[in-house]
Amino acid sequence: MVPSAVARVDRDVVAVFGPDATTFLQSLLSQDLDPVAVGGSAHALLLEPRGKLVVDLRAARVGDDEWWCVCEPGFGAVLAAGLKRFKIRVKVEIEDRSAEVTGAALRGPDAIELHAKVLEPAGSIAVRVDWADAPGIEILGEPAAIDAVVAELVRAGAHEVTDAAYDAMRIEAGIPRQGFDIDETTIAQEAFLERDAVSFTKGCFLGQELVCRIDTRGHVNRLLRRLRADQPIARGATVFADGKEAGTVTSTAGTVALATLRRQVEPGSTVLLQSAAGDVRAEVEAVANESGD
């Protein structure tokens, strides 16, 4: 069995705490947080009222009245500001703790078993972040604590990889990353985020109208796709299908890439990628979340 990989990753963390913390987040985020027990976490989205993405995050319940909202680096301030806009007559505090926290990501077939062997330092938390058929956990805490966790995981049998190698695993798995593949123009269904980050039964949340309308009687015009070529693919390359511009390459790892393309460009199609580095032909593939795998 291939050993699980561990990588140091940057993450932003916004702490939300106080007597009304859970009801406050439940009213705003796309996921149903009521079933999440202390020590658990859930994939969720903060959307703007018209349904476009503000922040893609993991909501980790670290206490009865405290949550850590974990997101990509650079988006903690956006998340804190987005939550504070709606902090009206509620007993809740919102703190951006991104400067104090770093992370380690553990992923692979035995990731859960390896993590169970490691004693997490005080003040750190573990967040479940699965990618299709690759189980994963992210551990967040102070830098010294994360250094210790990584060392213990390596001693337990994990293989330490660079952040670039870890990102290549993400791209191969077809997982979108905010700041690269998804942004403030993204609708949840374009990147299949609704598969595990949206509850259609919880009741009201910000942006619910658009997301639910698309789910019941509509469709989006763009979809996340993986591209595979026999030559290196350049980030930012323009994608052409049948002579028409279809999208832009957003993440790359050698000969594999992600792009959001017109929905008419289906898996199995061949597209042309044009960039300053030259033209490359690539095959379009479905990402794992598209089929719910």
pLDDT score for 122: 81
Rounded to two decimals, what is the model's pTM? 0.94
Q: Give yes or no for residue 288 having a pLDDT over 50.
A: yes
pLDDT score for 120: 79
Any idea which architecture 221-293 has in CATH?
Beta Barrel (2.40)
CA distances from 202 to 69, 94, 193 (A): 19, 23, 16
Q: Which residue has the tokens 């932003």?
A: 12
pLDDT score for 1: 59
Q: Give yes or no for residue 60 having a pLDDT over 60.
A: yes
Which pLDDT band, with edges at 50, 70 and 90, does 118 fall under?
A: confident
Q: Give yes or no for residue 217 having a pLDDT over 90.
A: no
Q: What percentage of the chain has pLDDT greater than the value 70?
A: 99
Over range 247-270, report the average pLDDT: 97
Q: Which CATH class is domain 5-173?
A: alpha beta
What ranges do the domains of the chain cover?
A: 5-173, 221-293
Of the candidates 94, 124, 136, 98, which has an alpha carbon nearest to the alpha carbon of residue 6?
136
The answer to whether the CB of 254 falls within 8 A of the CB of 232 is: yes
Mean pLDDT of all residues in the chain? 94
Which pLDDT band, with edges at 50, 70 and 90, does 293 fall under?
A: very low
